[in-house]
A = this chain, B = another copy of it.
Amino acid sequence: MATGTVEALRRHGLRATPQRVMLLEELRRRHDHPSAEDLHRSLLPRSPTLALSTVYATLESLERVGLVTRLSLGEGRDRYDAHAHPHAHLVCLGCGQVQDVPLPPLALDPAQVGSFRYAYSRVVHYGWCPRCQASAKDIGPRRGREECPP
């Protein structure tokens, strides 16, 4: 299993250090869109000298070559995702959990984009997960968002 990861790194021109292999594997295994610190905490038992700044540096390298995507959802910290297939994200306004959902086809009118050279799009849906619907107002929205059209 390490093999696939090592090859992926090399194929993208990155040196396969143990930290990078470990981090990419962890990120490919998880589907909860962890933050840099989440990843650091998860890996520390297995690799007690792993520095948080190395996690950041590694995530930056992986993002630069396209193996990882950074998500900024306005929670104060960024989340990371190593799942390649294009998808949208569904965020719970109560507890902040993020799950992957299929990407609706985006009919992007070239006229919209004007003279921009178009690269890609990101779609995020917001709503309330079952548990947060139940616990009603117990948990306030993370970083206030009550309505907001756009």
A contacts, CB < 8 Å to B? 60, 63-66, 69-75, 78, 81, 83-90, 92-93, 100-109, 112-113, 115-130, 133, 143-150
Contact = CB atoms under 8 A, between A and B. Distances in A.
A86 B116 contact: no
Contacts of A69: 148-150
Given A69-B148, A81-B150, A119-B125, 14 more contacts: A60-B144, A63-B145, A66-B147, A85-B149, A86-B149, A86-B150, A90-B112, A100-B150, A102-B112, A116-B130, A117-B133, A120-B125, A122-B123, A122-B124
Given A103-B150, A150-B83, A128 B121 contact: no
A113 B127 contact: yes
What 4 pairs between A and B have smallest CB-CB spacing? Answer: A72-B74, A116-B127, A66-B147, A117-B128
Contacts of A107: 104-105
Nearest to A102: B112
A6 to B, nearest CB: 21
A134 to B, nearest CB: 11
A111 B103 CA distance: 13
A81 B143 CA distance: 16
Nearest to A112: B101
B127 A124 contact: no
B120 A148 contact: yes
A146 to B, nearest CB: 6
